[in-house]
């Protein structure tokens, strides 16, 4: 059994829940990333923030990314996978929730992120194709 811990990208950088979306965007640019986990003041995962969230949920609604916080866009309970869970469970979770990036937790600590690329490297081409198709359904 291959675990999430074995294929994840470890030690993800977080944007703080009190950081502005402008700060988050600068961090995304610096890291060349389209998404960041939102971590709370209690060091727990609050959600995921994407570049699309910044544009669609703030800028397009005439919000100010210099004053809007990342935490204000964190809604609901984050979808996660346990570090020692089988990657097939990660695959199923990504398909079920149609998400491209899946935070990996160990207890309450964020320890990594699994992306579509990580799945592609770990699974067969057929499984990878099915995953991408399922995640991309509207």
Determine the pLDDT at residue 9: 93
Per-residue pLDDT of the chain (138 residues; tens, 9 = 90+): 889 999 999 999 999 999 999 999 999 999 999 999 999 988 899 999 999 999 999 999 999 999 999 999 987 889 999 999 999 899 899 999 999 999 999 998 999 999 988 888 887 776 666 656 666 665
Backbone angles phi, psi at 86, to 5 degrees: -65, 145
Determine the pLDDT at residue 22: 98
β-bridge mates for residue 49, sequence order: 36
Furthest C-alpha separation in the chain:
48
Gap between the Cα atoms of 40 and 54, Å rounded: 18
Record: fold of 4-136: CBS-domain (3.10.580)
Gap between the Cα atoms of 76 and 67, Å rounded: 22
By the 10 Å C-beta count (0-12 exposed, 13-18 middle, 19+ buried), 133 is classed as exposed
């Amino acid at each position: 059994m291959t675990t999430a811990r074995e294929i994840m990208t470890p030690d993800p950088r977080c944007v703080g829940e009190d950081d502005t979306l402008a700060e988050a965007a600068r961090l995304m640019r610096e890291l060349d990333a389209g998404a960041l986990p939102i971590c709370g003041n209690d060091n727990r995962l609050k959600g995921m923030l994407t570049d699309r969230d910044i544009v669609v949920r703030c800028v397009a609604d005439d919000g100010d990314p210099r004053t809007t916080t990342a935490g204000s866009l964190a809604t609901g309970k984050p979808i996660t996978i346990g570090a020692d869970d089988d990657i097939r469970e990660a695959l199923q979770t990504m398909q079920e929730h149609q998400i491209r990036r899946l935070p990996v937790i160990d207890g309450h600590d964020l320890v990594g992120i699994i992306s579509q690329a990580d799945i592609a490297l770990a699974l067969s081409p057929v499984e990878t194709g099915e995953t991408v198709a399922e995640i991309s359904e509207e």
